Chain A
Amino acid sequence: AQTVTQSQPEMSVQEAETVTLSCTYDTSESDYYLFWYKQPPSRQMILVIRQEAYKQQNATENRFSVNFQKAAKSFSLKISDSQLGDAAMYFCAYRLHNQGGKLIFGQGTELSVKP
């Protein structure tokens, strides 16, 4: 069974600084997708960034980038120039290519941003 682990329950960053959130996963499959979701206090689930396992290039979305290490099964999220609005719960998630309805989530990391 696939599992996703986020080992940092809480993280803190100073405004304008950079922070990295960690995620590891366990799978025996080779074709899958990885995601980072942001959940602010409103409970809305917001897609931050996604990575296809068959792509070697790390995904980037503005201030958000990932470090995807397929052999190590690691998928960390780097937030650059942190803003107060980045404060939220962040979830790492995994899905197999041929299982569109099933997302497997990690435990989440609560990120606080200090002004």
Chain B
Amino acid sequence: NAGVTQTPKFQVLKTGQSMTLQCAQDMNHEYMSWYRQDPGMGLRLIHYSVGAGITDQGEVPNGYNVSRSTTEDFPLRLLSAAPSQTSVYFCASSYSSGRNYGYTFGSGTRLTVV
């Protein structure tokens, strides 16, 4: 029972490079989301998905793209990395059925853009 798997755990990029942060869950959760964590700012929502084929923007979507072709996977793409995107990124999956709900977070990806 893996839960939410994020890869890679660490990454260093040069400004202008592109990359994809991977997120996969094996719990058949309908919701998935990406957050970035910066000192003094908590976790801020980048993009989220309410099901396969459906995504929406969060608080800080600029510079990031997402897609959700399957229930299990929700990759986050940085098209042209900038130093301002240096952060720790968390993926989360969740379910919500009436008053029954739960969240599972991945272990995070520390990204440094130089």
What is A's interface to B at a CB cutoff of 8 Å? 4, 6, 9, 33, 42-45, 47, 52, 91, 93, 100-108
Minimum CB–CB distance from B105 to chain A (whole Å) comes to 4
Does B45 have its Cβ within 8 Å of any Cβ on chain A? yes
- B103–A47 CB distance below 8 A: yes
Closest to B43 in A: A105
Majority SS of interface residues in chain A? loop
Task: Give the interface size bracket for B toward A.
Answer: 20 to 34
- A108–B32 CB distance below 8 A: no
Minimum CB–CB distance from B77 to chain A (whole Å) comes to 18
Majority SS of interface residues in chain B? strand
- A103–B95 CB distance below 8 A: no
- B101–A43 CB distance below 8 A: no
9 closest cross-chain pairs (CB), A and B: A100-B96, A101-B31, A45-B105, A105-B42, A101-B48, A105-B43, A107-B42, A43-B108, A100-B31
Q: Specify which of B33, B43, B105, B107 is in contact with A101 (CB 8 Å cutoff).
A: B33
Closest to B104 in A: A45
